[in-house]
Structure 1
Amino acid sequence: MTSRPSVPQTDPPLPPRLTLPTMYDLPSEDPEEPGLPDEFHDLQPQLLSRTLRLTDYAADQIFTGSDLNLYYDVWHPLWHKRPDWFLVLNVPRLYEGTELRSSYVVWQEGVNPFVVVELLSPGTEKEDLGEQVELATNPDQPVSVEAETVQPENGTAIAPESANGQSGKETPPRKWKVYERVLRVPYYVVFSRYTNKLRFFQLVGGHYQEQPLDPSDPRIWIPELKLGLGLWQGTFEGISRFWLRWYDSQGTWMLTDAEQERQEKELALTRAEQEQQRAEQEQELRQQAEAQLKQVSLNLLQSGMTVDQVVQLTGLSEDQIRQWIQD
């Protein structure tokens, strides 16, 4: 039989979060994890987190993780995946409301990711896309599917048993199957920086279905978030290229804090410049009006009118008219 964690039994049984390993007990790094870490894998998740603006969720009730161990199977507590970026809704921003997370442990948190983004590397396509890669490579060949995992009510995976009740050698399923069958992540996004190709899979009837995207302007709308993901061509952290970025219902790209601050400064500067231009225009108009009144007053005096008569006619002060006469 498969070796399973030894959990002291009580009556009634305690929930998994009280009996299984916690974030503090599980390793946070795996130096043998496949993939080719690079600067893009660091910058792209930052842009996703920094442009995420959810109107229906408080900032302290969502969690975004990047390259963080995600533990998902109570029967195999060390089995984990490391999504390049993922979003969880309705969980405290801090673990237990107090600490930064070193990993995300599903049986402790009680909430599965809502969106997962994977950034393809040359060595991770099969891990990230599973049977999709095999179908693309050998469309006429039957797909070799790994042993199914069963999804119990508590949201964790139970390893299947063979026909004789014995389990054979078990290996962790690929990310594709974990996201689709175990965690049932509703939205799965895959992006290759090498081809700038964006692919979008949505959980429909328990299985991922790839959704069509416009090749010229691929955009993914997620109604529950009131946000979408699209390919933005621009400069982030000094690097100009295509990036995955959030946009709003108007199709406007969401700004990072730094971009928003810069935009506010530019708007404030623009308003100050406009105010200065308006003041200068008003001053110029006043000067023009005064010059016209001066000329009219002098013409009236030259025509034979007295100062008192000009004062009564123009409404100007006597001192002002006498000053113009002296000038």
Structure 2
Amino acid sequence: MITTAAAPIITWEKLPDDYRLPDDPVDNRTQPLLAEALTDALRGNDRINAQSITATNYGICATFNGKIVIKAPDWAYIPRFSVPPEEIERSYTPQLQGDFPQIVMEFVSETEGGEYSTKPTYPPGKWFFYEQILRVPVYVIFAPHSNTLECYRLGDRGQYAIETPNSDGRHWLPELNLHLGTWLGTALGRTGSWLRWWDEGGNLLLWKDEKLAQERQRTERLLAQLRAAGIEPDLD
């Protein structure tokens, strides 16, 4: 709890069971696809466990000067929840129900939607909420239509500062021991710019469909080699 005179009073309280969560639609079909792809690669490469949360448009709650605030980032990573899963089905309150988010992301549509808002009064802006209330170490803002990736890290003074990417245009995120960068291609019926993960050695974390395609290619090559050697494989 923050109790200094200069700061708002923040508490972590259970959301009432009858609290009506916002039901706003996402801006476009691209946002959930970007989020799905991020989680797919982590899950398929054993980079998250059963107690982790990778959330998409999922309400993260705090009580701000006695009023409930809920923000639903386009994607978030929470290392560990500490309550039964059914208790966090609708929303999540850090500290009360587990770890604070370590990474939050907002995907910008054609028009800016408050991703940079530092409004400190109720209801607070997204930037203020992530930086000053949740104190999330990493805030990512990605504009897929312009392939623009901005990665902000919380500094010693409690404020976000933009990070410079490496020579490959990627950002190292020790929270997941992975690099984050952009990738142009086609997946999930969409062609365009995507956010992707790379490991410590610079290897791309493949999506499930990419892994299956690689397996099919290996199988086809093996079958071709056997047939070239005069061996007809028994595929029954």
Q: What range is the shorter-chain TM-score in?
A: 0.7 to 0.9
Q: Which has the larger radius of gyration?
A: 1
Q: Which has the higher strand share?
A: 2
Give the C-alpha shift of residue 222 in structure 1.
1.0
Q: Contact 2:152–2:163 at 8 Å: present in 1 too?
A: yes
Task: State the partner residue of 1:187.
Answer: 138
Q: Contact 2:59–2:70 at 8 Å: present in 1 too?
A: yes
Q: Contact 2:145–2:193 at 8 Å: present in 1 too?
A: no
Task: State the partner residue of 1:212.
Answer: 164
Give the C-alpha shift of residue 220 in structure 1.
1.2
Q: Contact 1:23–1:105 at 8 Å: present in 2 too?
A: no
Alignment partner of 2:211 out of 256, 260, 268: 260
Q: Which has the higher helix share?
A: 1
1:28 correspondence with 2:18: no
Between the aligned partners of 1:241 and 1:58, the Cα distance in structure 2 is 26
- What are the residue-to-residue correspondences of 1:48-63 with 2, within 5 Å? 48-53=38-43, 59-63=49-53
1:104 correspondence with 2:92: yes
Say if 1:77 and 1:242 are closer, same or farther in 2 by CA, change over 3 A: same
Task: Give the SS at the match of 1:51.
Answer: helix
Task: Give the SS at the match of 2:161.
Answer: strand
Summarize deviations over 1:59-91 as a string: whole Å, max 9, x none. Answer: 202101111121122644531111010000022
Give the C-alpha shift of residue 277 in structure 1.
2.7
Which residue identity is paired with 1:114? Q
Say if 1:29 and 1:276 are closer, same or farther in 2 by CA, change over 3 A: same
Alignment partner of 1:175 out of 120, 126, 141: 126
Cα RMSD, aligned residues only: 2.8
Between the aligned partners of 1:100 and 1:237, the Cα distance in structure 2 is 28
Give the C-alpha shift of residue 179 in structure 1.
0.8
Task: Give the SS at the match of 2:165.
Answer: coil
Task: Give the SS at the match of 2:181.
Answer: strand
Between the aligned partners of 2:176 and 2:64, the Cα distance in structure 1 is 29
TM-score, length of structure 2 as denominator length: 0.80
Q: Contact 1:222–1:228 at 8 Å: present in 2 too?
A: yes
Task: Give the SS at the match of 2:96.
Answer: helix
Summarize deviations over 1:119-144 as a string: whole Å, max 9, x none. Answer: 1135544x21135xxxxxxxxxxxxx
Count of residue pairs brought into register by the alignment: 220
Task: State the partner residue of 2:6.
Answer: none
Task: State the partner residue of 2:185.
Answer: 234
Between the aligned partners of 1:248 and 1:277, the Cα distance in structure 2 is 37
Q: Contact 1:71–1:77 at 8 Å: present in 2 too?
A: no
Alignment partner of 1:120 out of 108, 123, 139: 108
Say if 1:73 and 1:110 are closer, same or farther in 2 by CA, change over 3 A: farther
Q: Contact 1:62–1:87 at 8 Å: present in 2 too?
A: yes
Which residue identity is paired with 1:172? P
Say if 1:251 and 1:58 are closer, same or farther in 2 by CA, change over 3 A: closer
Between the aligned partners of 1:269 and 1:23, the Cα distance in structure 2 is 56
Summarize deviations over 1:38-63 as a string: whole Å, max 9, x none. Answer: 01112111111111159786520210
Between the aligned partners of 1:51 and 1:226, the Cα distance in structure 2 is 14
Task: State the partner residue of 1:323.
Answer: none
Which residue identity is paired with 1:24? D
Q: Contact 1:198–1:218 at 8 Å: present in 2 too?
A: no
Task: Give the SS at the match of 1:71.
Answer: strand
Between the aligned partners of 1:242 and 1:257, the Cα distance in structure 2 is 18
- What are the residue-to-residue correspondences of 1:5-20 with 2, within 5 Å? 20=13
The gaps in structure 2 that reach 5 residues or longer are: 1-10, 232-236
TM-score, length of structure 1 as denominator length: 0.60
